[in-house]
Amino acid sequence: MSLYTTARRWLATNSSRVYLERFLQQAARQLPAGSLVLDAGAGDCRYADLFQHTNYIAVDFAKVAKPYGELDVIADLVHLPFPSAYFDAIICTQVLEHLPKPQIALGELHRLLRPGGKLWLTAPLYYEEHEAPFDFYRYTRFGLDHLLSAVGFQITSLMPLEGYWGTLAYQWRSAAYQLPWILPSSYGGTIVRLVSIPFLITMKLVLASASVFATHIDLRYYDTSRWHCKNYKIEAYKPDIPKSAL
């Protein structure tokens, strides 16, 4: 492998994506062959291959201007065309922030799960606006606990998806991208703007390098002691006894 290829791979590495794939790999390993699995908000279906041994059904509302995978159903998550207790498992990753009525959508996912069925869900705490105009919320662990518990889910695990270094990597990568190459005229005259160029270039390089370093530290150590993560990952299930009957 060339030095150039290695450098490109390092620069492109995103610890959140790595940890998300590991999270879903773990989910897939727990599911017997032939399980009915719903990917709620599947988007480009990038994790479909992990569930080849199951009956995988991809659903999305397909209203954002982006590439989509092979969707089985196009529908809003607040009203899905499946009977109650139909699925053995549901995955819903990086979707909840795009739902204007998240509690109703979670209630619908709860309806679709068979008793004992599992939900694997991730949602952001810290992330820039994206997929406009369908971007509505960010979630604390307490908010996620409240929303899921309110519709009847039993949470078995609620943890940061990535560690604190992953959050730093994202912040530094964003700063490197957002810094201009030259200051706009509102910052001052031509001389000020020209003199600032070496500083801006240096800052971009420093921040980009720091982001790569932090990403690989995050993948090595997964430091969650500060709970200042980009995203949370949740494992939950639908109890055999409805909450209302307890």
Residues 6-25: pLDDT tens digits? 444 545 579 999 999 999 99
Tokens of 127: 């992330």
Q: Is the pLDDT of residue 231 over 90?
A: yes
If you average pLDDT over every residue of the chain, what do you get?
Answer: 92
Identify how many contiguous H helices and E strands the chain contains and give both numbers: 6, 7
Q: What is the pTM of this model?
A: 0.90
Average pLDDT, integer, range 18-45: 98
Compute CA 91 distance to the chain's CA centroid, rounded to the nearest angstrom.
Answer: 11
User: pLDDT at position 187, please?
Assistant: 83
Q: Would you place residue 244 in the very low, low, confident or very high pLDDT band (cuts 50, 70, 90)? A: low
- Residues sharing a CB contact under 8 Å with residue 122, sequence separation 6 or more, in sequence order: 20, 23, 92, 93, 94, 161, 231, 232, 233, 234
pLDDT value, residue 13: 79
Give the CA angle between residues 134, 139, 142 to the nearest 5°: 150
∠ Cα 232 111 154 (to 5°): 45
Residue located via tokens 């949602």: 123
Residue range 76-91: mean pLDDT, rounded: 98
- The pLDDT score that the predictor gives to residue 133 is 96
Q: In what order do the strands lie in the sheet with 113-124?
A: 73-74, 55-60, 36-40, 87-93, 113-124, 231-237, 154-160
- Do the beta carbons of residue 97 and residue 71 sit within 8 Å? no
